[in-house]
A and B are shown apart, each in its own frame.
Chain A
Amino acid sequence: MLFFAFSFLLSAFRANIFITMSVKNKRLDLSYSQMKWETIFKRILIVMSVVMLLLVIGTLATLIVKSMPTIKSLGIGYLWGKIWDPVNNVYGARPFLIGTLLTSFTAIIISTPFSYAVAIYLGEYNTKGWLSNLLKNTVELIAAVPSIIYGFWAFFVLVPVVRTFEAKIGVAPYGVGVFSASLVLAVMVIPYAASLGTSLIRMVPSPLKEGAYALGATRFEVIRSVILPFTRSGLFAGILLSLGRALGETMAVTILIGNTSAIGNTFKDVFFGPGNTMASVIANEFSEADHDLYYSALIELGLVLFFVTVIINLIGKKIITKYTNK
Chain B
Amino acid sequence: MDARIKIRNTKSVLFKALIIFLAFIITLPLIIILLYIIKMGVVQVNWGFLVHAPTPEGVAGGGIANALVGSLLMVGMSAIVAIPVGLLAGVYLSENPGTRLAYYSGLCVDILQGVPSIVVGIVIYFWIVKPFGFSAISGSIALAIMMLPIVVRSTEQTLLLLPASLKEAALSLGVPYHRVIMKVIVPCGFAGILSGIILSIARIIGETAPLLFTALGNVYISTKVTGPMDSLPHLIYFYAKSPYQDQIDQAWGASFILLMFVLILNITTKLITRKWNIQL
Instruction: Report which A residues bind B (CB closer than 8 A).
Output: 2, 5-6, 9, 12, 34-35, 37-38, 40-42, 44-46, 48-53, 55-56, 58-59, 62-63, 66, 113-114, 117-118, 120-122, 125, 135, 137-142, 144-153, 155-157, 187, 190, 218-221, 223, 244, 247-251, 255, 279, 282-283, 286-287, 299, 302, 305-306, 309-310, 312-314, 317
Contact = CB atoms under 8 A, between A and B. Distances in A.
Contact of A144 (B27, B37, B262): B262
Given A9-B176, A152-B236, A305-B119, A219 B95 contact: no
Q: Which of A9, A41, A251 counts the most chain B CB atoms within 10 A?
A: A251
Nearest to B91: A45
A307 to B, nearest CB: 10
B269 to A, nearest CB: 9
B276 interface: no
A144 B266 contact: yes
Given A42-B177, A114-B26, A138-B27, A302 B119 contact: yes
Interface residues of B, number: 87
B85 A51 contact: yes
- Please list the 7 inter-chain residue pairs (A to B) with the smallest Cβ-Cβ separation, ordered nearest first: A146-B206, A248-B116, A313-B114, A117-B22, A41-B178, A220-B12, A218-B12
Contacts of A305: 116, 118-119
26 contacts: A37-B176, A38-B176, A48-B88, A52-B108, A56-B111, A118-B22, A125-B20, A137-B270, A140-B266, A141-B263, A145-B33, A145-B262, A146-B205, A150-B33, A152-B237, A153-B255, A157-B32, A218-B12, A220-B15, A251-B237, A283-B209, A286-B125, A306-B115, A306-B119, A309-B115, A309-B116
Contacts of A5: 174
B19 A125 contact: yes
A63 B125 CA distance: 11
A50 B105 contact: yes
Given A49-B102, A250-B116, A309-B115, 19 more contacts: A6-B172, A41-B178, A41-B181, A48-B92, A49-B105, A120-B19, A144-B202, A144-B203, A146-B262, A148-B233, A151-B237, A152-B255, A153-B36, A187-B26, A221-B12, A250-B118, A279-B209, A283-B209, A312-B114
Q: Which of B8, B36, B119 counts the most chain A CB atoms within 10 A?
A: B119
B26 A142 contact: yes
A198 B185 CA distance: 30
Q: Is the interface of B mostly helix, strand, loop or mixed?
A: helix
A53 B105 contact: yes
B209 A251 contact: yes
Interface in B215-240: 233, 236-237, 240
Interface string B70-90: 000000000000001100110
Interface of B: 8-9, 11-12, 15-16, 18-27, 29-30, 32-34, 36-37, 84-85, 88-89, 91-93, 95, 101-102, 104-105, 107-120, 122-123, 125-127, 145, 148, 152, 171-172, 174, 176-178, 181, 202-203, 205-209, 212-213, 233, 236-237, 240-241, 248, 251, 255, 258-259, 262-263, 266, 270
B177 A41 contact: yes
A122 B27 CA distance: 14
A105 B26 CA distance: 19
Contacts of A219: 12, 15-16
Contacts of B207: 146
Contacts of B236: 148-149, 152
A255 to B, nearest CB: 6
Given A2-B174, A137-B270, A219-B12, A49 B92 contact: yes
Contact of A286 (B24, B176, B213): B213
A66 B126 contact: yes
Contacts of B91: 45
Contacts of A48: 84-85, 88-89, 92
